[in-house]
Every structure is written in structure tokens, then in C-alpha cells.
Amino acid sequence: MSYSLNIRGQLFSLDTPQVMGIINATPDSFYTASRQQSEAALCDRLCQIMAEGGTLVDVGACSTRPGAPLPSEQEEIARLRKALTTLRDAIDRLECAPPVLSVDTFRPDVARMAVEEFGADIINDVSEGSEAMFRMVARLSRPYILTSTQPDLRSTLLTFAQKVQQLRDFGQKDIILDPGFGFGKTLKQNYALLNELDRLLVMELPLLVGISRKSMIYKKLNCTPEEALNGTTALNTVALMKGASILRVHDVRQACECCQLIESLK
């Protein structure tokens, strides 16, 4: 299917799969190497994502690692303001097309701050959404990533159908679906859902897949997140073959190579 997003008044095409690089402005991400907090580290990570072919960056200041302490809204805002100030300054100095800036948050007021103060392009919500968030993203007129925390395909489809209709009722236009690998699912359920990923295309909305170095890989392979790149590449390839439009990853170059090779098959 042909998909595009309205980004800063321009159409951002998803006709070919795109890669979203992760920037974790947190001290406690499950993957230690992905934690960027200093100004230099943030700028280096941004440059790395773009140099390796990423067209989107996803900035988060609240770890979704199981068991991680949840920062207050004020702490999340403070972390994000610091990171986004640095990243926006770096983006403004670029001599090439800027990346699409996504902010990873489940809090409506954090989303509002990121858009109104820093011009964030996309809101990435891993919480399965709330009426308050739906109203906010519709008011902000930004593409919204809706995540499922359901355990299987049937409940995921039913929840997506209900939530998408709610979003449409509030006037939301651009919606991206994330099946939520690692959220509310057992190891077996993660793989069952990935095996049936293409059946989510019935929603006629682009799919984002975020499986990078997650426990569904390193637990299955009896290794650590640091050793899970090869497994990540294998499953990213499966996701692309089943219709994913966006890969959310730590390792951008390897994901871009997957996209390039899968496109060659077409």
C-alpha cells in the first residue's frame, strides 16, 4: 500500500520502508549503549543516525524497561527540554534535509511541550493511548503512533479498530500502528504476532515495528542486549517482508541495509 505522512506541511513518503533511530535521553534504558545524556553524546548520536541513513529520530526521556522507575512528568519534561534544545540547535545547523523528529511519551502535556516549544513532528505513545492524548494530538495536528499492549492478533486488531475510530472522531488524520512487541506479551505471543504481522495491514495504516535488541530476541538466544544485533537484523527482515513501513532501531546502518535488500526483492 502507498502511505505518506504530513510533516511540516510536506508529504513524507512511506512507499519505501524508513528507519527511525532511537535517542534515549534517559539514565536507565535497558540497552546501556543507547543512553545519551551529555550534549556531545546527543549530537554524536544524531549525526550517526543521519550518516547511517536514518530519516527519523525518536527521542525519549522515560524508560519503558520492565521494572524501571517512572519519572514524574516534571522530570520527563526537564530531561526532554534539555535533549531537544541540544538536538534542535544541531538540526538547525545542518546543511542537509533535517530528520523527522519524533517524541516518545505517553503524557499529553509532554507531547504539547515538545510540539509547541520544539516543533516535534510525531508523537510516539507506547501506552495504548487515552482520550486526553487523543484530544491533544488531534489539536496539535501531528502524526501519532498508536501502540498495542494486547497479547494476540485478534485483541490487537479489535483494540486498534476501536482506538483508530476514537482518533478519527477527534479529527486525527495521520496514524501509525505499532503492534507493541515486548508490551503485554509473553515471548511466545511476541513471535506469534510477528508471524501474523501482515494481517494488520487490513487496517490500511502504516506499521511501525520496534524489536531492536529486545528481550524477545536476547532471551530466546540466551544472550544479552549487547549481543542481540544479529537477531535484531533477522527479525527486522521478517518485519519488512510482512509489510512494516518503519523500523525503530538502535542500529541504523544495519536496518537500512535490510530495507535496501528487501526493496531489491520487489
Indicate the DSSP class of residue 99: P
Q: Nearest 10 degrees: CA dihedral of 99, 253, 203, 216? A: -130
Cβ atoms of 162 and 168 within 8 Å: the answer is: no
Annotation marks residue 173 as catalytic: no
Catalytic residue among 45, 142, 213, 248, which? 248
> Cell 504481522, residue?
197
Running DSSP on this structure, what letter comes out for residue 182? T
Catalytic residue among 214, 219, 253, 266: 214
45 is catalytic: no
For residue 52, give the nearest of 86, 19, 95 by alpha carbon. Answer: 19
Contact 261, 253 (CB under 8 A): no
Other CB atoms within a 10 A radius of the CB of residue 131 amount to: 10
Distance CA 168, CA 75 (A): 31
Instruction: State the catalytic residues.
Output: 214, 248
